[in-house]
Structure 1
């Protein structure tokens, strides 16, 4: 069984990107021990990896942990995706949102105790590339939901999209179906 010191070492290894130490921890204590490792702020191994952009460790850990760890909240209510967005790690947010066994685009709307989603964190850190990617995944998810409801492009001429930022500002845009563009 992993001691508090072992778990602290794991978290430091995740923070600083020492994949060999992370692998040794898993071999010695088992993947289930990963889920009980938290620092004084409630951060998990995934929080540390995502905050610091260690894609190799994230790729190693994702298939070993329960998908719930992807939406596990720290003491501030933030999930690992918040940390990746705040620190502008595009490859990490892509891995988290697109992980097949994870919550997918639904995690983009998770709000922390400050009331901010990962998208809001990207906007507040003035990271346009990440905010645009997250927004595209949200729109993609909305499109998938519409397809499930059997709504086709022929049924919809214009789609009004509103996105609220962290400061309460609202951006609006109209998407027209391809049928309208050709007319």
Structure 2
């Protein structure tokens, strides 16, 4: 049985795969993965694990893997397909450690796919990533974990809600950010995170988009 080694994909191949994942084009993604798998004579999981936007940040690269983009956009269909393919049994499957390395891949800002999904309050994507082995406790370069990013989004939404008329439809309902926070804290993998949840609160530098990754985690499907 072959042992996984990163596949040397061309810039164009990586760009096509990223475009498919960003745009939410599942059929194109399947076709491009199959093409690269055949060209390099390896499982599609190897292609997913190797497709990293490795261009320097100064040149517009994000350092993200394919999972980041559907996680940011809330495209659970694309994300679940990638995760299923990543973990599929084959003649040369990825090991649990290799799968975890992809699921917890940190981009140029230290954000994992879970950071992006949590920040943009995409609960189904958060669930899929955690169930696939995403580490809830990973912190980005600003020292923030996924729970804190979802919590901060919830705070912002709740503050905006206070300014809306009380009779507005949906008033008083749990925000999407709060749903993500509650689900993460109740998950088996939360551990002792709740006790340290507010450590980063109030640190001004971490409120900037570049530090938190909020600027890069905004919906990134503008290339549709």
TM-score by length of 1: 0.72
In 1, Cα distance between equivalents of 2:112 and 2:47: 19
Structure index of larger Rg: 1
Q: Which has the higher contact order (CA 8 A, sep 6+)?
A: 2
After superposition, the C-alpha distances for 1:45-67 in whole angstroms (9 at most, x for unaligned) are 00011111111111111132233
Instruction: Indicate if the aligned counterparts of 1:88 and 1:130 stay in contact, CA closer than 8 A.
Output: yes
**Within 5 A, what are the aligned runs for 1:30-109?**
30=37, 31=44, 32-39=46-53, 40-65=61-86, 66-99=99-132, 102-103=133-134, 107-109=135-137
User: Is the CA contact (8 Å cut-off) linking 1:46 and 1:58 kept in structure 2?
Assistant: yes
Q: Distance in 2 between matches of 1:19 and 1:82?
A: 23
User: Residue 167 of structure 1 aligns with which residue?
Assistant: 201
Residues 114-170 of structure 1 show CA distances to partners (whole Å, capped at 9, x for unaligned) of 0000001101111111111111115x6549xxxxxxxxxxxxxxxxx735223079x
Provide the secondary structure at the position in 2 that maps to 1:59. Answer: helix
After TM superposition, the structure 1 = structure 2 runs for residues 120-139 of structure 1, keeping only pairs within 5 Å, are 120-126=148-154, 127-137=177-187
Contact in 2 for aligned 1:51/1:83 (Cα 8 Å): yes
Give the conservation status (yes or no) of the 8 Å contact 1:16–1:52.
no
The question of whether the paired residues in 2 share the 8 Å contact of 1:50 and 1:58 is answered with yes
C-alpha separation in 1, matches of 2:100 and 2:151: 26
Matches within 5 A, 1:106-125: 107-125=135-153
Contact 1:41–1:74 (CA<8 Å) still a contact in 2?
yes
- Structure number with the higher strand fraction is 1
Task: Tell me, yes or no, if the aligned pair for 1:72 and 1:79 is still in contact at 8 Å.
Answer: yes
1:8 corresponds to: 15
Is there any run of 5+ residues in structure 1 with no aligned partner, and where? 144-160, 170-183
The question of whether the paired residues in 2 share the 8 Å contact of 1:88 and 1:122 is answered with yes
Over the aligned positions, Cα root-mean-square deviation in angstroms equals 2.2
Q: Normalising by the residue count of structure 2, what TM-score does the alignment of the two structures yield?
A: 0.60
